[in-house]
Structure 1
């Protein structure tokens, strides 16, 4: 049977020309399932692994549809795409511009980090496609600088990540202003996020076709290095990079401070490094990613702000300097390598505090990370200590020594209780009575105290 090609899925001649220029030939599994359903007018709920071609799967059918018919409202946005991060928004805009090359359609981006007045001016030019983050788009709705009354397509890309980031209220604020008769596509690499189904019911109006493609990474070698502490991790990282062959590598940390510290460490060791985290300005982010794509830097140190949506060719290695907090976040991190069925490698540096988390992620993925070592840098920590035998474990009988036998002949020691020593020597007066006596200015008779003590004991 002949393998389908993009020309079998897309009929518009302008889009076909752009597809040929981009070198698209055979559609990926998610594209093969999602595009025909979208062309047929279905709402979609799609789950597929990172790097599987989800962006083209929602852009191509939506663009083809608006090219084929007049707008519902000429002053309204026709396609709205919501993403959790600026980086993912920028990537989608780039892909859209490539597909729109032979059309007259325009795409605009609305994200944080830029002044509202410039974005308002862009929106007044009425681009057919708007890509943005929920927080900033919510601001524009409050300023009444958007018009979604004639919206034909609403796309939520990485919806579970938006839920993780607490953006569901902004998403609902936006979708409530959109035309109800729209087509809605919800795409993500994972769908298990708690609360996602509730969001789907509020965003997708009517029935939807659900498409699930295997999410497990199938071309990524997953390994781990054990470390004693963070200083040991730094030595292991430098040695790993020096001994590995790669075109590009992304190193993930859990904090902005660690990202900055690693940037300094790697520069000191003569690596060409760029850094990406929440305190970097919009312009700096763009420059950093451009340099990384162009090969002017070969190492990108990033927090999870870069874990989703970045499609950068040539990333052959991902390093988790800190283990991800969840299995889903781990999947998105390592999904930066091994894209489009290319081989990739992911190495996690694990210390004692991260052991249980790592094992939990292994169970979640149904995988076992290969344990590797760096020559000359093997640490003391080699996993949790095995339970030490106390002589009480099941199936083990405690040995009896000669000393034990000797001790067995002694009479058992009898505990002498206070009540058995009545009237022997001086009895201790309870603190409470001493306090009363001190306050009242007199000491109670000794016999009365003894009687009270005896009554309380009995």
Structure 2
């Protein structure tokens, strides 16, 4: 029960109004420590309820402030504008019975309007690192009174090249009392480096291991002969699987546009997202998907980062992601909150090794699936090693061959007899022994 947490009554009223009853595992683990003011490093999958895990303790710190609103007290950094917008909504929902105000600073919006909002000095500022730095450099942003910083989806921010921006913004908050870092994956050396620089003796909470990130999602692979064959499989899946919303991931913009074109030609309600799309197109695509105006989204990884859509229950990896962490982020969008989901990866000859490395990373083995209506000829790499009796027979034959050719024993060299004729250096004719020269007596 949320009532067990030492939260302000106004926040508990909002929690009850929103019909939050049982905290999720990440909320149960993180909220008590965060209320104590501890620095936290939390690994929890997307869709696990981690936003409330940092929003409620953050608001609890600010709810009783008696000062007039003249300084920004809390800063939340996120990798994408969509995720920032979603977090702003959560902050506003939980703070509805308080006087706390929140503001949003992201790219793709009017710079002067954002500067005007900053002059009103929100208690909580939510934003993306790039645009926040632009406002800072323009002299519009002052962070010296920030008490708490939250870095959400920190691994994504690093992947997008925001490491230096994040460190700079953290350094602009010298009086902060608490820093909380959340990520969906354990990350690599870059994330460990950031943790060492911005957190002070943090409490580490591992709410899920990598191998448990998608327990509610069936993970399958289907082998394909080439990209055209992959397109046929995609069409079959969209026609025959049961889903409310689906997302198809590609590694390139060109392929995303190609698949989108084929879907539209077959009268599917679909949208496409990639780096060439402007903010207006992104907003339209996400809103249509959320409202049910479109059932299918074709996207590249960069465009889909921070995407949070309810009812997304089918993920198709047209192209295999380039890393295990990227795979986790893709399939983490389905099978949320105990619901079932399906993630299907299409594997050509060139994808097999990458797929195998991701299996090893996750310590999982994906389900192999064959669809007879669109079955191809490629079924995986050919086995080099024979097994069973055949292997034993081959080994014996090889051993015998090797005995004859390689392991032939040499005959021991015979020692010359004392009176035997010596061989010449060229081995052609024996040399006569010279009689010993008589010595003078």
The bucket for the TM-score relative to the shorter chain is: 0.7 to 0.9
Give the 5 Å matches for 1:74-89.
74-89=69-84
Rate the CA distance shift 1:52–1:388 in 2: closer, same or farther, 3 A: closer
Quote how far apart the aligned CAs of 1:143 are.
Answer: 0.7
Q: Does 1:214 align with 2:211?
A: no
Q: 1:368 aligns with which of 362, 365, 371?
A: 365
Equivalence for 1:329 = 326
- Please state whether the residue corresponding to 1:166 is helix, strand or coil: coil
Q: Does 1:140 align with 2:135?
A: yes
1:43–1:184 Cα contact (<8 Å) kept: yes
Rate the CA distance shift 1:121–1:359 in 2: closer, same or farther, 3 A: same
Distance in 2 (CA, whole Å) between partners of 1:195 and 1:143 is 29
Cα deviation digits, residues 375-394 of structure 1 (max 9, x gap) = 321111110122288x9997
Unaligned runs of 5+ in 2: 402-441
Deviates more, 1:190-199 or 1:307-316: 307-316
Give the 5 Å matches for 1:302-313.
302-313=299-310
Unaligned runs of 5+ in 1: 402-458
Equivalence for 1:423 = none
Quote how far apart the aligned CAs of 1:7 are.
Answer: 1.9
Equivalence for 1:31 = 27
Distance in 2 (CA, whole Å) between partners of 1:307 and 1:191 is 20
Distance in 1 (CA, whole Å) between partners of 2:147 and 2:394 is 68
Q: Which runs of 4+ in 1 moved over 6 A?
A: 391-394
Q: 1:273 aligns with which of 258, 270, 273?
A: 270
Equivalence for 1:383 = 380
Quote how far apart the aligned CAs of 1:269 are.
Answer: 1.7
Cα deviation digits, residues 243-290 of structure 1 (max 9, x gap) = 011111111111122212111111112211122222222222112111
2:148–2:176 Cα contact (<8 Å) kept: no
Quote how far apart the aligned CAs of 1:319 are.
Answer: 0.9
Equivalence for 2:433 = none
Distance in 2 (CA, whole Å) between partners of 1:256 and 1:192 is 26
Give the 5 Å matches for 1:119-268.
119-204=114-199, 206-215=200-209, 216=212, 217-268=214-265
Q: Does 1:107 align with 2:102?
A: yes
Distance in 2 (CA, whole Å) between partners of 1:141 and 1:400 is 78
1:91–1:309 Cα contact (<8 Å) kept: no
2:69–2:123 Cα contact (<8 Å) kept: no
Distance in 1 (CA, whole Å) between partners of 2:189 and 2:266 is 43
Equivalence for 2:283 = 286
- Please state whether the residue corresponding to 2:130 is helix, strand or coil: helix
Quote how far apart the aligned CAs of 1:202 are.
Answer: 1.4
Deviates more, 1:57-66 or 1:380-389: 380-389
Quote how far apart the aligned CAs of 1:15 are.
Answer: 1.9
Give the 5 Å matches for 1:371-450.
371-387=368-384, 395-397=395-397
Quote how far apart the aligned CAs of 1:208 are.
Answer: 1.6
Distance in 2 (CA, whole Å) between partners of 1:340 and 1:189 is 15
Q: 2:297 aligns with which of 291, 297, 300?
A: 300
Cα deviation digits, residues 284-337 of structure 1 (max 9, x gap) = 211211111111111111111355443321111111111111111101110000
Q: Does 1:67 align with 2:63?
A: yes
TM-score w.r.t. the length of structure 1 is 0.82
Distance in 1 (CA, whole Å) between partners of 2:336 and 2:94 is 20
- Please state whether the residue corresponding to 2:243 is helix, strand or coil: coil
- Please state whether the residue corresponding to 1:346 is helix, strand or coil: strand
Cα deviation digits, residues 102-122 of structure 1 (max 9, x gap) = 223222221111232121112
Quote how far apart the aligned CAs of 1:74 are.
Answer: 3.8
Distance in 1 (CA, whole Å) between partners of 2:261 and 2:223 is 23
2:149–2:176 Cα contact (<8 Å) kept: no
Q: 2:86 aligns with which of 87, 91, 103?
A: 91
2:63–2:99 Cα contact (<8 Å) kept: no
Equivalence for 1:455 = none
Equivalence for 1:428 = none
Distance in 2 (CA, whole Å) between partners of 1:394 and 1:359 is 29
Distance in 2 (CA, whole Å) between partners of 1:337 and 1:109 is 27
Distance in 1 (CA, whole Å) between partners of 2:43 and 2:400 is 63
